[in-house]
Amino acid sequence: MSEGTAPGRLLGEGLAGRGVICTGGAGGIGRAVCRQFALAGARVLVVDRDEAACREVAGDLPGSGHEPFAADLSDPHAAASLPEAAEERLGSCDVLVHMAAVLLRKPLGEVSEADWDLQTEVNLKATFFLARAAGDLMRRRGRGGRVVLFASQAWWTGGYGGSVVYAAGKGGVVSLARGLAREYGPDGITVNTVAPGSVDTPMLRTGLAPEVLDGVLEATPLRRLGTPEEIATATLFLASDNASFISGATLNVSGGWLAY
């Protein structure tokens, strides 16, 4: 990764030929993110639990060198093995974009220990082991790199519609990214988070009462849901050379709902 940038550069500057891990790559936002990186000339490892969906997404991406990879990230060992797998399949592991997450909407009093464990294991525990493995590999290779983790508006607001546990995990992701940014910064590795607001995906609508969503839209200055493509371009920016002096930051992409 180059250290500087110049006026007039493209959004995905510096990503051509790079190896990129995209977890949650078969999801609503994940598909758009994978496509943006492919359009920028990167080689994408499409990671998700559903092998058939991974193959579908990888096969539809523009360019060449993309690979599907099925993995269950509730297993921290599987998460930690992804960077080495990416290097083997793509030729390098230059960027990690970690989007995979579990959201179980339940009233607070109905949240079970199993609900807590599943969400925190995937949303926080796996994030730590995956990001650490990626950072360590990038450090050993000595070429710098980019780590982009996904938070949520929930890290700041506490969530809505029965998502307290999810919000807690995403708050942890933001703190984790700040610590990793300090750890890996001397090696030219940036670590940032994207915090999407309400984005029009199946995950958002599952288990969410319509009146709750109406209230969120009313509180959003742009008065609409975001699109996966809008999150994807923000993600691409953080991974590009255009964001070479940004690290430890949380990029708020919420249509104005969050203001900080």
| pLDDT tens track for 194-234 | 999 888 776 666 666 777 777 777 888 888 888 999 999 99
Whether 1 is covered by a domain: the verdict is no
At residue 258, the pLDDT reads 78
Whether 91 is covered by a domain: the verdict is yes
Distance CA(173)–CA(150), nearest Å, equals 8
Radius of gyration of the chain from Cα atoms?
A: 17
Whether 9 is covered by a domain: the verdict is no
Whether 72 is covered by a domain: the verdict is yes
Whether 10 is covered by a domain: the verdict is no
At residue 196, the pLDDT reads 93
CATH at 34: 3.40.50.720
Helix ranges (DSSP H) in the chain: 28-39, 51-60, 76-80, 82-90, 113-120, 126-141, 154-157, 164-184, 202-205, 210-219, 228-239
160, amino acid identity: Y
- Count of domains in the chain? 1
At residue 255, the pLDDT reads 83
What order of strands is seen across the sheet that includes strand 250-253? 67-70, 43-48, 19-23, 95-98, 145-150, 189-196, 250-253
Length of the chain: 260
Annotated catalytic residue within 160, 166, 184, 260: 166
Instruction: Confirm whether 260 is a catalytic residue.
Output: no
Whether 207 is covered by a domain: the verdict is yes
Cα distances (Å, whole numbers) of residue 85 to 14, 39, 60, 76, 181:
22, 22, 21, 15, 23
Q: Which of 105, 101, 89, 119 is nearest to 193 (CA)?
A: 101
At residue 5, the pLDDT reads 47
Whether 11 is covered by a domain: the verdict is no
Whether 8 is covered by a domain: the verdict is no
| pLDDT tens track for 18-34 | 999 999 999 999 999 99
**pLDDT below 70 — which residues of the chain?**
1-8, 202-208
State the residue range of the domain holding 168: 19-252
